[in-house]
A and B are shown apart, each in its own frame.
Chain A
Amino acid sequence: MRLGLFFRLAWSNIKKNHQLYIPHILAGTGLTGVFYVMLTLANDKRIEDIKGGYAIPAIMAIGCAVVAILSVILVFFTNSFLMKQRTREYGMYNVLGMEKRHVGRIMFLENLISTTISLVSGVLFGILIYKLCCLFICKMLHVDTILGFYVDPGCIAKTVGGFALMYFAAFLWNRFRLARLRPVELLASAGAGEKEPKIKWILLVIGLLTLGAGYYIALTVESPLKAIPDFFKAVILVVIGTYALFLAGSIALLKLLRKNKGFYYRRKNMVAVSDLLYRMKQNAVGLASIAILATGVIVMMSTTVCLYTGTEQTIKQYFLNGDADIFLRTNCRHSEETENGWETHNYQLPAETIRELTEKTVKDYGTEVVSFRPMRNLSDIFRFENGKGSIYEVRSTFATMPEGTVQLIILPVEDYNGISGQSVTLGDGEVGWFALSADSPEITKTVPEQFRIGGQPLRIAKEVKALSLTTNETYTADAYGLIVPSIDTLDAIVEGLDRELQEAYDGDSRFYLYASVYYTYCVQVADAGKLAEVDTEMQMASTFGTYLQERVKETENDGGEPENDEDDPEGPKSYTDVHWFWESTWGMRNELFAMYGSLFFLGILLSLVFLFATALIIYYKQISEGYDDRSRFQILQKVGMTQKETKGTIRRQIVIVFFLPLVTAVIHMLVAYPVIRKLLKLLMMPNDTLFVICTGLTIVAFALIYMVIYRMTARTYYRIVR
């Protein structure tokens, strides 16, 4: 009976305050739904099993974490806003004779109702859009598996449990605040005079320092690999800086403007400046949050769109600008223990043999080899000291590279000519070079003109036409191709380097890094599409492997000698020592689509959540300002401002406040551009133009959506003000 009354009161309160509660409930619904979708995607075995779906669970798990953090922030934000707006109402109940525990009970019921609606509709929404998401993922991964309706009770339980706990925590916070308030304060809290904002000098200094440091890091990042930890450092600094500057910097600036009498005491400025001062005080946190969210959306969307749409280009570039479909590498290696410790022997099958095997394999799968070109090379990081280059061992992934380190791909001139179609000739001891990325400086900046490498004296003679080669590990910004006079020179270099490494490791060859030539062959086939169609890369590679092993066995048998033949220490000792490495355009395509497709999907989902959060913050900002502005609006008119002037000045202020986060986000993005470009390089996406286009389009799209959100919320605002 009594409970029934409380329940009715709570329900009518929600209805009466629908302007506040609808966004609150919508936020709950959206966040619950998205969280459920991500959690289910992370756990759905069927998704994991689709071609290219292996990357989704891990990526969605990251998404879950982001949404969870954002949910906590947003739930507490909307909750505190609701509480602030309704304090007076609760005070009134108290004054009218309800005890605080009764008010608390109404509050609890209100929370219970809104939470239940949010969670139930959120889970339903999640279940509905889950199927849509599955379809979308299939489309993006280029698979046509269509999955049926799917509900995961475990995920529902976890989602509901987690969110319910969060809402309960929010309720406890409200209840705590209610208990501490006295009735008079409850009533008065809405009409309290607003204190003049003070400049928070310490915060201002912190803001300037952190933002400056963040920008500095972002703008001066050298190597792409260092870009990862630097990027996160910069992000944290910039986030702190943005909040601090929105809080303190805006007020300091406006106060400075107010001090300037010639500027301040003008018809257009006086009202605007002092109103903005108060607006910034109330909304700095919300605006800074919008700026951060907006930056997040722009960064996420521009990078994931760029990666996803650039996949084909990345592949093309990786495979010699489209001149190859398969990269093949074989190596037979055998390690044995001798009196001198462990020794490793490398053994290469002749190129002709590999060619035959490849042709056989490709024929088996229904097309034929068009070209088969060797690209024997040594690819490693070198450090040059006193004119001598030696292999530099990267001990830690995030280590800073010392001066003089450079990435080199060394290949013999005959292979270079074969691939590039050039006819470069090099004299004895002469080398040619080309830069692997367009923005690398002249090679002589790091490598001296006369140098020794692996004991070979060499001299930089000429720059040659660049080949489109991608290094596997992009440790340093500067990477070069180095052309040596012949394969013999290359072999001699490798031998020399190997010896140096052995010495460095005191002959324990089990553990030392051995230097070896990659006997890579670039294969182009007539119809790569056919191969991609009938086959996965794995199957073809294993067919090739079978042929290869047969052939190796034949070689052994040709010799007519048993295994461990002492006369032929170079020969392979068992099948397991045969290594082959196989890369194809279609294999890479599958892998990249799996990776970038799921990243793109995550980008879209998170961007939607971020946009939603932005809309929510703007909406609540507009409402709370609407109530304050109404009285100001009326006074200004009474004092003699025309209606047009009043409207004009208010609109101008709102537009400034509205564009501030957007402008901030764009500036952040511009500063982040060099770091992100380097990060993209790490992901083998070297196309800058595409990234610039993606970023531009994302910014425009975001600005448009933001404008729509603003328009929609502005309507509510003007309704209140009028």
Chain B
Amino acid sequence: MSILEVSNLQKVYTTRFGGNKVQALSNVTFSVEKGEYVAIMGESGSGKTTLLNILAALDRPTAGKVVLEGRELSTIKEADMATFRRENLGFVFQEFNLLDTFSIRDNILLPLVLNGAKPAELEGKLLPIAERLGISDLLAKYPYEVSGGQKQRTAVARALITDPKLILADEPTGALDSKSTDDLLRVFRDINSQGQTILMVTHSTKAASHASRVLFIRDGEVFHQIYRGECTNEQLYQKISDTLTLLTTGGEQR
């Protein structure tokens, strides 16, 4: 059963004074199954971020539609959008986007509180997630007191705490050193193995090699995709690497 269906997505940006039109997405169609771990790869300017913004309902497509668990995003009213996002999606960003006025604990709890959860329920939800992500000891600390990897795990915890249908991750390893990257990817694997659907945009081959499926985007279209199948991470890494070489050396063929 597919949780996310994207069909014929198109996005055209018009510069402020009319005139120039920039086609960010020309025709994107794909779907994500429940429990899948999908990585989307592409060069800078390929339309990755535009796609993610549309999936996150932060931006609206020019044409085409996005259906999340049977609900079409364009039918949701602007006023309900934030609530919809809060209840259905979890976000992990490259720059962590933690509030430095909040302790780690409060950063994680924020979406729950915004959802109107009862103060008494909070601790019960927080502790298992913090335990799983190995940040139980850090809860009282502030973002400026912890490392980049710990910040990102905090961000993951914040994304998970509302039990979202889909986690959208935008270059989650972009600001991390290699050890923290490994840690984070292991975390993603873990939560995915427990049934969490993840969609990750990245241009790190290593990050993508942990996914169960990799989509390649070029010039606003889905250019290619690779299923993990029975491959190990290393084998998948090789496959991705080959595809990227093909992509950049410019084979127009499919």
- Which A residues lie at the B interface, using CB under 8 A? 193-196, 261-262, 264-267, 270-271, 274-275, 277-278, 632, 635-645
A639 touches B114 (CB 8 A): yes
Known contacts A193-B144, A194-B144; is A270 also within 8 Å of B106 by CB? Answer: yes
A641-B81 Cα distance, complex, nearest whole Å:
10
Shortest CB-to-CB span from A213 to chain B, Å, is 34
Shortest CB-to-CB span from A483 to chain B, Å, is 72
Shortest CB-to-CB span from B237 to chain A, Å, is 31
Q: Using Cβ atoms and an 8 Å threshold, which residues of chain B touch A271?
A: 110
Number of A-B contacts (CB under 8 A): 72
A637-B98 Cα distance, complex, nearest whole Å:
12
Shortest CB-to-CB span from B153 to chain A, Å, is 16
A635-B144 Cα distance, complex, nearest whole Å:
16
Shortest CB-to-CB span from B114 to chain A, Å, is 6
A-B contacts, 10 of them at CB < 8 A, read A193-B145, A194-B144, A264-B119, A265-B113, A265-B117, A266-B113, A267-B116, A270-B109, A632-B101, A645-B82
A642 touches B119 (CB 8 A): no
A642 touches B79 (CB 8 A): yes
Shortest CB-to-CB span from B62 to chain A, Å, is 22
Task: Give the interface centre of A267, A635, A638, A640 by most chain B CB atoms within 10 Å.
Answer: A640
A266-B58 Cα distance, complex, nearest whole Å:
25
Q: Using Cβ atoms and an 8 Å threshold, which residues of chain B touch A265?
A: 109, 113, 117, 119, 122
Q: Using Cβ atoms and an 8 Å threshold, which residues of chain A touch B82?
A: 637, 640-643, 645
Q: Using Cβ atoms and an 8 Å threshold, which residues of chain B touch A195?
A: 142, 144
Task: Give the interface centre of B113, B116, B122 by most chain A CB atoms within 10 Å.
Answer: B113
Report the stretch among B1-9, B25-33, B85-93, B129-137 that lies at the interface. B85-93
> Which residue of A has the minimal Cβ distance to B93?
A638
- For residue B111, CB closer than 8 A to chain A, the reply is yes
A643-B142 Cα distance, complex, nearest whole Å:
25
A643-B106 Cα distance, complex, nearest whole Å:
20
Shortest CB-to-CB span from A631 to chain B, Å, is 9
- For residue B74, CB closer than 8 A to chain A, the reply is no
> Which residue of A has the minimal Cβ distance to B102?
A274
A705-B197 Cα distance, complex, nearest whole Å:
56
Query: Closest 10 interchain pairs by CB?
Result: A193-B144, A640-B86, A642-B82, A265-B119, A274-B101, A635-B97, A278-B101, A261-B119, A270-B113, A262-B119
Task: Give the interface centre of A261, A265, A274, A632 by most chain B CB atoms within 10 Å.
Answer: A265
A195-B113 Cα distance, complex, nearest whole Å:
24
A196-B144 Cα distance, complex, nearest whole Å:
10
Q: Using Cβ atoms and an 8 Å threshold, which residues of chain B touch A194?
A: 100-101, 144
A639-B99 Cα distance, complex, nearest whole Å:
10
B99 touches A635 (CB 8 A): yes
A266 touches B119 (CB 8 A): yes
- For residue B158, CB closer than 8 A to chain A, the reply is yes
Q: Using Cβ atoms and an 8 Å threshold, which residues of chain B touch A635?
A: 97-99
Q: Using Cβ atoms and an 8 Å threshold, which residues of chain A touch B85?
A: 640
B111 touches A640 (CB 8 A): yes
- For residue B42, CB closer than 8 A to chain A, the reply is no
Task: Give the interface centre of A264, A636, A642 by most chain B CB atoms within 10 Å.
Answer: A642
Shortest CB-to-CB span from B166 to chain A, Å, is 14
Task: Give the interface centre of A277, A278, A639, A643 by most chain B CB atoms within 10 Å.
Answer: A639
A640 touches B106 (CB 8 A): no
- Which B residues lie at the A interface, using CB under 8 A? 58, 79, 81-83, 85-86, 91, 93, 97-103, 106, 109-111, 113-114, 116-117, 119, 122, 142-145, 158
A215-B81 Cα distance, complex, nearest whole Å:
52
A275 touches B114 (CB 8 A): no
Shortest CB-to-CB span from B115 to chain A, Å, is 8
A275-B99 Cα distance, complex, nearest whole Å:
10
B110 touches A639 (CB 8 A): yes
> Which residue of B has the minimal Cβ distance to A635?
B97
B106 touches A638 (CB 8 A): no
Q: Using Cβ atoms and an 8 Å threshold, which residues of chain B touch A196?
A: 103, 142
Shortest CB-to-CB span from A90 to chain B, Å, is 24
Q: Using Cβ atoms and an 8 Å threshold, which residues of chain A touch B101?
A: 194, 274-275, 277-278, 632
A271-B93 Cα distance, complex, nearest whole Å:
20
B122 touches A636 (CB 8 A): no
Q: A265-B119, A639-B91, A640-B83 are in contact. List 6 more A-B contacts (CB 8 A).
A: A270-B106, A270-B109, A636-B99, A639-B114, A639-B158, A640-B114
Instruction: Determine chain A's interface SS by DSSP, over half rule.
Output: helix
Q: Using Cβ atoms and an 8 Å threshold, which residues of chain A touch B143?
A: 193
> Which residue of B has the minimal Cβ distance to A642?
B82
Q: Using Cβ atoms and an 8 Å threshold, which residues of chain A touch B93?
A: 638
A12-B26 Cα distance, complex, nearest whole Å:
45
Q: Using Cβ atoms and an 8 Å threshold, which residues of chain A touch B97?
A: 635, 638-639
Q: Which of A193, A638, A639, A642 contacts B83 (CB 8 A)?
A: A642
Q: Which of A193, A266, A267 contacts B100 (CB 8 A)?
A: A193
Q: Using Cβ atoms and an 8 Å threshold, which residues of chain A touch B81?
A: 642
Q: Using Cβ atoms and an 8 Å threshold, which residues of chain B touch A277?
A: 101
Q: Which of A266, A638, A645 contacts B91 (CB 8 A)?
A: A638
Q: Using Cβ atoms and an 8 Å threshold, which residues of chain A touch B58?
A: 638
Q: Using Cβ atoms and an 8 Å threshold, which residues of chain B touch A637?
A: 82
> Which residue of B has the minimal Cβ distance to A634?
B97
Shortest CB-to-CB span from A191 to chain B, Å, is 10
Task: Give the interface centre of A262, A266, A278 by most chain B CB atoms within 10 Å.
Answer: A266
A9-B111 Cα distance, complex, nearest whole Å:
47
B110 touches A270 (CB 8 A): yes
Shortest CB-to-CB span from A419 to chain B, Å, is 72
B111 touches A639 (CB 8 A): yes
Q: Using Cβ atoms and an 8 Å threshold, which residues of chain B touch A278?
A: 101
A586-B86 Cα distance, complex, nearest whole Å:
77
A266-B110 Cα distance, complex, nearest whole Å:
9
Shortest CB-to-CB span from B170 to chain A, Å, is 10
Shortest CB-to-CB span from B198 to chain A, Å, is 18
Shortest CB-to-CB span from B80 to chain A, Å, is 9
> Which residue of A has the minimal Cβ distance to B99?
A635
A131-B5 Cα distance, complex, nearest whole Å:
77
> Which residue of A has the minimal Cβ distance to B159?
A639
> Which residue of A has the minimal Cβ distance to B112?
A265
A267 touches B113 (CB 8 A): yes
Task: Give the interface centre of B103, B106, B143 by most chain A CB atoms within 10 Å.
Answer: B106
B113 touches A641 (CB 8 A): no
A696-B114 Cα distance, complex, nearest whole Å:
42
Q: Using Cβ atoms and an 8 Å threshold, which residues of chain B touch A632?
A: 99, 101
Q: Using Cβ atoms and an 8 Å threshold, which residues of chain A touch B98?
A: 635
Shortest CB-to-CB span from B104 to chain A, Å, is 12
Q: Using Cβ atoms and an 8 Å threshold, which residues of chain A touch B122?
A: 261, 265
Shortest CB-to-CB span from A145 to chain B, Å, is 61
Q: Using Cβ atoms and an 8 Å threshold, which residues of chain A touch B113?
A: 265-267, 270
Q: Using Cβ atoms and an 8 Å threshold, which residues of chain A touch B91?
A: 638-639
Q: Using Cβ atoms and an 8 Å threshold, which residues of chain A touch B145?
A: 193
Shortest CB-to-CB span from A499 to chain B, Å, is 80
Shortest CB-to-CB span from B58 to chain A, Å, is 8
Known contacts A635-B97, A636-B99, A638-B91; is A274 also within 8 Å of B106 by CB? Answer: yes
A468-B177 Cα distance, complex, nearest whole Å:
88
A267 touches B114 (CB 8 A): yes
A393-B144 Cα distance, complex, nearest whole Å:
69
Shortest CB-to-CB span from A267 to chain B, Å, is 6
> Which residue of B has the minimal Cβ distance to A279?
B101
Shortest CB-to-CB span from A189 to chain B, Å, is 14
B100 touches A641 (CB 8 A): no
A645-B114 Cα distance, complex, nearest whole Å:
10
A270-B122 Cα distance, complex, nearest whole Å:
13
Q: Using Cβ atoms and an 8 Å threshold, which residues of chain A touch B103?
A: 196
Task: Give the interface centre of B79, B98, B99, B142 by most chain A CB atoms within 10 Å.
Answer: B99
Q: Using Cβ atoms and an 8 Å threshold, which residues of chain A touch B83?
A: 640, 642
> Which residue of B has the minimal Cβ distance to A274?
B101
A638-B95 Cα distance, complex, nearest whole Å:
12
> Which residue of B has the minimal Cβ distance to A643?
B82
> Which residue of A has the minimal Cβ distance to B90?
A640
Q: Using Cβ atoms and an 8 Å threshold, which residues of chain A touch B144?
A: 193-195
A275-B93 Cα distance, complex, nearest whole Å:
22
A632-B110 Cα distance, complex, nearest whole Å:
13
